[in-house]
């Protein structure tokens, strides 16, 4: 028999961990008093009604959108030419946080992978909505 306790525990011992998107709703995330399974995870979502629910999801919903296209480059000097191109977008919780141009889809996949790492670790907090909102109107040096 074990003496381990399970569940979110005493609300006075919870820590606020911001919020997460569940579907289209934003829900409060907490660090509970006790773990909810053997992986030592103590994260819980607080629904509008009811008890805290175990959370083992994505803290930030990160998406990549790549759109390939062919476009006409017009030039009187070198002549017209159809060229390959495309746009890539990195989204965090449904908002575009970075956009880039590419010519090769495989390069774009590697670029997106690299950008997600850089944006996640950047001191400005690009991937976190509340941190992005603080950047509006801020001076850039």
CA angle 82, 85, 87 (to 5 degrees): 145
* Domains of the chain and any CATH numbers: 11-54 (no CATH), 62-134 (3.30.160)
Distance CA 80, CA 23 (A): 46
Judge whether 90 and 115 are in contact, CB under 8 Å: yes
CB neighbours of residue 120 within 10 Å = 14
DSSP string, 110-122: HHHHHHHHHHHH-
CA distance readout (Å), 119 to 58, 70, 99, 111, 126: 16, 29, 12, 12, 6
Quote the pLDDT of residue 36.
66
Quote the pLDDT of residue 113.
97
CA angle 91, 54, 5 (to 5 degrees): 145
Quote the pLDDT of residue 109.
98
Distance CA 19, CA 121 (A): 19
- Those residues of the chain that have pLDDT short of 50 are 1
Quote the pLDDT of residue 53.
83
């Amino acid at each position: 028999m074990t003496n381990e306790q399970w569940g979110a525990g005493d609300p006075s011992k919870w820590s606020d961990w911001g919020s997460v998107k569940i579907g289209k709703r934003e829900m409060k995330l907490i660090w509970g008093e006790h773990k909810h399974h053997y992986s030592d995870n103590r994260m819980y979502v607080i629904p509008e009604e009811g008890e805290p629910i175990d959370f083992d999801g994505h803290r930030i919903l990160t998406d990549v959108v790549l759109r390939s296209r062919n476009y006409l480059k017009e030039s009187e000097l070198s002549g017209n030419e159809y060229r390959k191109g495309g746009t890539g977008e990195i989204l965090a919780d449904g908002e575009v946080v970075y956009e880039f141009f590419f010519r090769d889809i495989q390069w774009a996949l590697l670029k997106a992978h690299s950008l997600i790492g850089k944006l996640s670790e950047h001191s400005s907090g690009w991937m976190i909505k509340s941190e992005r909102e603080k950047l509006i109107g801020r001076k850039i040096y």
